[in-house]
Structures are given as C-alpha cells and as structure tokens.
Amino acid sequence: MKYPPFLGSEIQPPSPEHALFHVLPVPWERSLSYGGGAALGPSAILAASWQLELWDGHGVPAAGGIYTHAPVDVSGEPAAVIDRIAARVAEILALGKIPVVLGGEHTVTVGVIQGYLRAGHEGFGVVQLDAHADLRDRYEGDPLSHACAMRRVVEAGVPLFQLGVRALCEEEVAARTVYGVGFLDADTLVPQGIERVPGDGGPPRLYFSPQNRHCVQCIRRDLKSNPSLFAHVIRRFIPVPSPFQDGSRLPASRSCPALAQSSGDLLAGADG
C-alpha cells in the first residue's frame, strides 16, 4: 500500500525538524462492527490530499511545513499497537511539532491520547466529532473495541466534548454523567444550528479531534451555512489536529476527499 506525502502534489516535503505538522498514518483495523476498509483510510486520504489547493481562502497553512511519516506497525496484540502509536506521537511532540494522525479504527485515539500524556502534556481536552459516543466500558467483551475508545480517554482524566452524536446506548448516557462529558448531539446541532458551545468554565488548553465520516457529512453540511460554531470551538482551544477515522463505509471517492479537506481545514486552524 502506498503512503504518498500529504499535499505532495503542491509542496516539497521538508525535513522533520523543519515541518510544523507531522502526519502519522495508522492503518489499523481490528474491531469494526460493520463493513470494513478502515485500514485503507490513511493511504486513501493521503492520495486525495493531492487534489487540494494550497490556498484555503485566508492563507497557506502548508507554509508551516508538512512531513508525512511511514505508517505505524499495526501487527500484533492491541496493547502493543497502542503502545507503538503512543511512542510515535510522543516523539513528534518532543520535537515541538503538531501530530496529525490518520486512522484507522477509533481505537487509534487511545494510543494518541496516551502519547500526549506520555509526553507530559496536561490540561488538554478532546473535542470528538462522531456519530457514536464510543463510551461503552466493553463491547462484545473487548475493552479496546472501537466502541470503547472515548471511555478509555475519560478514564484517563481527559475532558471530553462530543459533537454530532446520533446513536448511543443507556450505558453511554450514564457515562456522560459520571465523567462530566459535554455534548451537542446531532438532533440539536444539525436542525437548529448552534452558534456557541455552552459552558461556564475555562476551556482546556489543547484540543484533539477524532472524526468519522458519519459526522463529517452532517457537520460539514451544516457548517457551510453556519460556520460560527466550529470557529467558536477552534478559538476556544489551541488546536491539535489528530485522527481522521473510519471512512470505511463510504466509497473512497466520496469519503476520502471530504476527510482530506477536513485535514486541511484543521491544519489551517492550527496554523492560525
């Protein structure tokens, strides 16, 4: 499988030390419940990025430099894969760079968060764009299932805010209360349009933004006419772009260009 450099059609990849953004492909697919193909996501998103323009309407985020790493080895037991992801993310952070992690199934998120914690980062939170809450303690007996990724995050003491969720179980509703999870679900966010994220406390210092294609579709459609919500979220956090996951249930011609564009959007937010 090929992993071309992100935006390689437009820019000459710099050396790692001269790139602000470090793209890390993680083609991991282990616990999907329906369909398949998540492992193909990183390669397809990187290929689709070659169709993007450098100019984003305000500037050229790629001017900060984009370096694309070799993919993480995803063979072996889940705990070992998560440890490899964490190690690679921590290495990028140790250089003072911004990791942009491309998955892969949602359990990739667990490794990324462990990488931030391993690198000594504190006071950051997660903004999750997803159609599902992923807050189960176990799914089909597996604590590292894709359906448990956010539960492992909040158990690590990392604050979580969810955008666009449209399906969750009673256990996940209860977990939101126990762990103080904030949320704007799809039934509110999409039809009504929300311009501000509620909350009276200070925001976490960093944000982390896993996505899947279900939520990308509804959020991007709504934000075309009302971009102020996402702009408000971005302004409240210093952005740390990260996993774009689970385009597995849409043809690459439909999901990957949207995810590649979303990747570019977050690079612009981080650069600004």
The per-residue pLDDT for range 135-178, each reduced to its tens digit, is 999 999 999 999 999 999 999 999 999 988 999 999 999 999 99
CB 125 within 8 A of CB 163: no
Distance, in Å, from the CA atom of 102 to the CA atom of 105, rounded to the nearest integer, reads 10
pLDDT of residue 240: 40
- pLDDT (average), residues 230-236: 42
- pLDDT (average), residues 218-226: 42
CB 103 within 8 A of CB 213: no
3-state helix, strand, coil in the chain (%, to 5): 45, 15, 45
Cα distances (Å, whole numbers) of residue 89 to 82, 114, 157, 269: 11, 9, 19, 20
User: Which residues are registered as beta bridge partners of 128?
Assistant: 162
Q: Considering the entire predicted model, what is its pTM?
A: 0.79
3-state secondary structure of 21: strand
User: Which residues are registered as beta bridge partners of 160?
Assistant: 126
